[in-house]
Amino acid sequence: MTTLGDDLLRTVNKLQDLVFNTIGNDSLDLPQIVVVGSQSSGKSSVLENIVGRDFLPRGSGIVTRRPLILQLINIPPDDDSGSDRDEARIPHTAASVEEHAEWAEFHHLPGRKFRDFNQVRAEIENETARIAGNNKGINRQPINLKIFSPHVLNLTLVDLPGLTKVPIGDQPGDIEKQTRTLISEYIAKPNSIILAVSPANVDIVNSESLKLARYVDPLGRRTIGVLTKIDLMDHGTNAMDILSGRVYPLKLGFIGVVNRSQQDIQTNKPMSEALKSEAEFFRHHPAYRNMATRCGTHYLAKTLNTTLMAHIRDRLPDIKARLNTLMGQTQQELASYGSKQFSGKEHRGSLILQLMTRFATAFISSIDGTSSEISTKELCGGARIYYIFNSVFGNSLETIDPTHNLSVLDIRTAIRNSTGPRPSLFVPELAFDLLVKPQIKLLEIPSQRCVELVYEELIKICHTCGSTELSRFPKLQGKLIEVVSDLLRERLGPTSGYVESLISIQRAYINTNHPNFLGAAAAMSSVIASKNEKDKKASQAEEKRKREKRMKQIGMNGNATPEDEEAEQEDKSATLPVRKHPAIPSRSMSPAVARDRENGMPGAGGAAGAAKDSFLNYFFGKENERQLAGAPFLAPSGAAARHVSHSVEPSFAQSMRRLERGSFTEHRQPAYPPPMTDEYAQSEYGESPLFPEQNAEPVLTDREALETELIRRLISSYFNIVRETTADQVPKAVMHLLVNHSRDEVQNRLVSELYKEELFGELLYEDDGIKKEREKCEKLLATYKEAARIVGEVL
């Protein structure tokens, strides 16, 4: 054992002290000796022998249930203080010094010196039970114990729970796995030397410890084999094959030991005596006599020491590198808490200004998408605003059905109301106006929602603008968020007001002259086209039925009745809704038709003489001057120009109605009341003439059906135009009035609200938790620096 070796070990122990005991973790992975073996193989006994003290709880059951990190510190014989261990001399195992020269200290009981090693054992038991419970469970939290003694070599040893196969007591079913994992964790560190304990009275091929050790150290470079219970081997057998390395190859070899037996323990055989008799055992044993100097606890301790030393020398460069990394990391962490000096007035002001500016910049860059901390998990900031505009807002506009809330009745009522007391000549644009305006209002809810969503997103953004440094000053952070939130809230009103106006503006003037507006003509022709399609089918079926009926009647009395003629006339008209017809009311016109003409369209009736009257004119009025907003609304397109005499329409409609109701024959049935009666009118409209809306079933005249459908199409067309404009304008307004405005204003606002000297003290109140973290970090850094200094001294 060289002085250099001692220096090394002292260094490591110092580091161990520093790192383990100041910081409380083993981030440095310092070299240590880890004892592994199956339960009752003698691990604790070996450790005790190395220490030369009887202090570990031992027995036949599972006794070691938490890792025990045992630091042996050699002290000069008369040094009782333990403070100056640099003067440690080469230790001697002979118990030549006073008992009181030795003591133990637990990390969990700082400052308390245990001189009675029975108490040390009791404390280990207590502390084990405290964390691992009273039953047989194990726990991974280590117990740290230091032993100061002139009799020990500087070593760091770890005692671990033994490997077991069968769970006992309260042990969980996976106790074997748990133990195995815990052991593997300790021995897997390249900085640990594995003391693989196997009892000599059990076949070495069954050694669990060697199996585990081989797993993490396949070349056997850092594994020392310890063969216990050599005294318990069968008579006539010995462990020479193993000890000489012929059975199982380990670079560091096998060392045989004889620990105290259970009986020795019970009879309190002193440790010194046990060591003596161990030495005797090897010296006199016929098989081991010749290698007695390479057997026993003393030799094991020396081997461990030198091995550990060599190992430390090997690891030192790594430790240095590791220290550097740790220092760098800690420095960085410390920097994230910000600088410590902010006590001076100038300092405080500039610190606040700095934090404020950083906050504002983070806010702006998050909106602009230039933030360095862009999340890959979810959309945030500007991208999220874009998403709100395009997907959320866009979709909610798209899904509005512009006429779904308009029933046929609503439209008809609007048409009727818009004509006032006077029956209309044409589909009144007033009805279109009346109906389309409330529909435009449907755009307002999604538009306002869009404003709110963007507002909420901005609020969210301002909550994420803090840094670690800022979180150190919770008051300041809170104030920054508050001021920005206020700013945003201020903008919410004007923005939402503007958006409201955007919709109102759209409602203020219905521009039917818009180039994209479908126009009455196009709408009409499309309505007619689809209606023709329907009518054709219906009338074909009717024609057939009628023919059959006539054939039957002819068969009965040989000539057609006037009613038949009338029916024929009507039915013909049903097949020709857009065909030219005699303009003058026919003789066969039903009284109901006459009433229709009087009530519904006398104006049209007045124009009936004009044979050129188109269906369109019929609906929209003849005078071109009546065109509401210009050509598109009225200009007859090629398709819409197919002329139909208005005078025909009522009878056509009537026949349609009859057709629909299946009451084709009612006119010819004398039992039915005459068509002119009120009841007839009532049945015509499906409602009481006095209370027009009381009946649920709307029965539309054909004209009404057409008008309704036409209006519906016009509303859809116009609504689409407004929808497009809204989808375009709302995001622009929100960007301008809310987003960009707050973005541009944020820095000024923060400064004017918060940069006030009287506020500095309050704003820079430091969060206790963060303060502690920072102080801890500072301490850590100091420790690492000290460790680096210690390591630096050695090399």
Can you give the binding site for ligand GDP, defined by CB under 6 A?
A: 37, 39-45, 58, 60, 63-64, 162, 228-229, 231-232, 258-262, 265
Q: Which does 543 bind (CB under 5 to 8 A by kind): Mg ion, ligand GDP, none?
A: none
Q: How far is the CB of 70 from Mg ion (least distance, A)?
A: 12
Shortest CB 49 distance to ligand GDP, Å: 9
Beta strand pairing call for 32-36 and 192-199: parallel
Task: Choose between 44 and 645: whose C-beta lies nearer to Mg ion.
Answer: 44
> Between 183 and 592, whose beta carbon lies closer to Mg ion?
183
CA atoms within 13 A on the CB side of 506: 26
- Cα separation, 483 vs 556, in Å, equals 96
Q: Which of 13, 16, 32, 64 binds Mg ion (CB under 5 A)?
A: 64
Residue 532 binding partner per list Mg ion, ligand GDP, none, with a CB distance cut-off of 5 to 8 Å that depends on partner kind: none
Binding site partner of 361, from ligand GDP, Mg ion, none, Cβ cut-off 5-8 A by kind: none
**If you search the block for the tokens 């006077």, which residue do you land on?**
422
Separation between Cα atoms, residue 158 and residue 195, nearest integer Å: 10
- Distance, in Å, from the CA atom of 708 to the CA atom of 700, rounded to the nearest integer, reads 9
State the angle between helix axes of 591-600 and 648-661 in degrees (0 to 180), rounded to the nearest 10. Answer: 120
* Cβ(415)–Cβ(711) below 8 Å: yes
262 binds, among ligand GDP, Mg ion, none (CB under 5 to 8 A by kind): ligand GDP
Tokens 């979180």 appear where? 471
Q: Which long-range contacts (CB under 8 A, 24 or more apart) does 478-482 make?
A: 479/753, 479/754, 479/759, 479/763, 480/355, 480/356, 480/359, 480/750, 480/754
Q: Report in angstroms how near the CB of residue 242 gets to Mg ion at its nearest.
A: 22
Nearer to Mg ion among residue 64 and residue 651 (C-beta): 64
Amino acid at 399: T
- Partner that binds at residue 231, options ligand GDP, Mg ion, none, CB closer than 5 to 8 Å by kind: ligand GDP
- Counted residue by residue, the chain has a size of 795
Both tokens assigned to 155: 């070593």
Nearer to ligand GDP, 267 or 376 (CB): 267
SS3 assignment, position 21:
helix
* Three-state secondary structure call for residue 379: coil
**Options 61-69, 138-146, 390-398, 478-486: segment touching Mg ion (CB under 5 A):** 61-69
The Cα-based distances of 732 to 469, 502, 743 in angstroms read: 36, 11, 15
Choose the contact partner of 178 out of Mg ion, ligand GDP, none; CB within 5 to 8 A by kind. none
Cα separation, 290 vs 409, in Å, equals 118
Closer residue to ligand GDP in complex, CB, 7/231:
231
State the minimum distance, in angstroms, from the CB of residue 298 to Mg ion: 21
Q: Which is nearer to ligand GDP, 58 or 479 (CB)?
A: 58
CB of 306: closest distance to Mg ion in angstroms? 25
Number of chain residues interacting with Mg ion (CB under 5 A): 4
Residues of span 428-447 touching Mg ion by CB under 5 A: none
When the beta carbons of 132 and 737 are compared against ligand GDP, the nearer one is: 132
Q: For residues 267 and 372, which CB has a smaller minimum distance to ligand GDP in the complex?
A: 267
Using the minimum distance from each CB to ligand GDP, give the nearer residue, 60 or 557.
60
- Closest distance of CB 135 from ligand GDP, Å: 17
Tokens of 782: 């100091």
**Smallest distance, Mg ion to C-beta of residue 274, A:** 17
Selection from Mg ion, ligand GDP, none that 259 binds (CB < 5 to 8 A by kind) is: ligand GDP
**Chain centre distance of CA 683:** 64
- Smaller CB separation from ligand GDP, 258 or 312: 258
Rounded Cα distance between 357 and 361, Å, is 6
Answer with the entry of Mg ion, ligand GDP, none that 265 interacts with (C-beta below 5 to 8 A by kind).
ligand GDP
Q: Closest approach of Cβ 158 to Mg ion, in Å?
A: 12
Residue 69 · residue 20 · CB < 8 Å: yes
Which residue number, 43 or 53, has a Cβ lying nearer to Mg ion? 43
Residue 174 sits at φ, ψ, to 5 deg, of -100, 30
CB of 258 to ligand GDP, least distance (A): 5
Compute the least distance from the CB of residue 213 to ligand GDP, in Å: 15
Q: Which two tokens stand for residue 95?
A: 């118990």
Q: Encode burial over 635-668: b for 16+ CB neighbours within 10 A, e otherwise.
A: bbeeebebbbbbbbbbbbbbbbbbbeeeebeebe
Asked if 192 contacts 308 with a C-beta cutoff of 8 angstroms, the reply is no
User: Smallest distance, Å, CB 262 to Mg ion?
Assistant: 13
- Provide the mask over 13-52, with x wherever binding to Mg ion is found by CB under 5 A and - wherever it is not: ------------------------------xx--------
Number of H helices, E strands in the chain: 29, 8
- Which tokens sit at 264? 């020795």
740-759 residues near Mg ion, rule: CB under 5 A: none
Residues that bind Mg ion (CB under 5 A): 43-44, 63-64
